Copies of this chain bind each other. A is one copy, B any other.
């Protein structure tokens, strides 16, 4: 039974961290292909070339496993901070990036987790290190340096407002934001609040 061949008989048996990484990668692939509701432990075990016992030794159940797989990816490698020279285009750039980093599959996986792991609030998944927004901090600081905004306009609320509205949109519609939606957030809400006049 020379099965699915994802594990070269020449390579020695994987263990510890290496094995764990391979498993979590398999989870993410299953999430993309099957979606959270159809992801099974057997499926993950087979795809990662291991056995269910190995999964259950590390994670108590399906939800914990998916949770771990998502956590690995949530603190995205501090993405490029847009630097166009004006606040409006910087913020638009930030919001556009959210379209890509919050895939449909990932969003639904998050919903599934909340449904199953009663206690886990979404926030702790989305903001594992507390509610901060390093990208926006940089963007706003640059705008302040250029004199576009007053320094005292940089409040916690103003750091998260655009992404909060964008996330709300993404969560409700489970589809990428339109350019109009992004423009509405920036032009009708954000800029009027922070720009000097």
Q: Which of A30-55 contact B (CB under 8 A)?
A: 35-37
Q: Kindly list chain B residues whose C-beta atoms are within 8 Å of the C-beta of A172.
A: 121-123, 126, 167
Query: How far is B171's CA from A171's CA once the two chains are assembled, in angstroms?
Result: 9
A20-28, A78-86, A111-119 - the one binding chain B: A111-119
Query: How far is B171's CA from A173's CA once the two chains are assembled, in angstroms?
Result: 13
Among B165, B173, B188, point to the contact of A121 (Cβ < 8 A): B173
Q: Kindly list chain B residues whose C-beta atoms are within 8 Å of the C-beta of A193.
A: 189, 192-193
Whether B111 lies near A114 (C-beta < 8 A) is: yes
What's the least CB distance linking A25 to chain B, in Å?
Answer: 22
Main secondary structure of the interface of A (DSSP, over half): helix
Whether B168 lies near A164 (C-beta < 8 A) is: yes
Residue of A123, A126, A192 contacting most chain B CB atoms (<10 Å): A123
Q: Chain B residue with minimal CB distance to A36?
A: B115
Whether A174 lies near B122 (C-beta < 8 A) is: yes
Number of copies: 4
What's the least CB distance linking A74 to chain B, in Å?
Answer: 14
Q: Which of A123-150 contact B (CB under 8 A)?
A: 123, 126
Given A155-B188, A165-B165, A188-B157, A115 contacting B122 (CB threshold 8 A)? no
Q: Chain B residue with minimal CB distance to A185?
A: B157
One digit per residue, 1 when the CB lies within 8 angstroms of any chain B CB and 0 when it does not, for chain A 170-197 equals 0111110000000010001100110000
Interchain residue pairs with CB less than 8 A apart (26): A35-B118, A37-B115, A37-B116, A37-B118, A108-B115, A111-B111, A111-B115, A112-B115, A121-B172, A121-B173, A121-B175, A122-B172, A123-B172, A123-B173, A126-B172, A155-B188, A157-B188, A158-B188, A164-B165, A165-B165, A165-B168, A167-B168, A167-B172, A168-B168, A168-B171, A171-B171
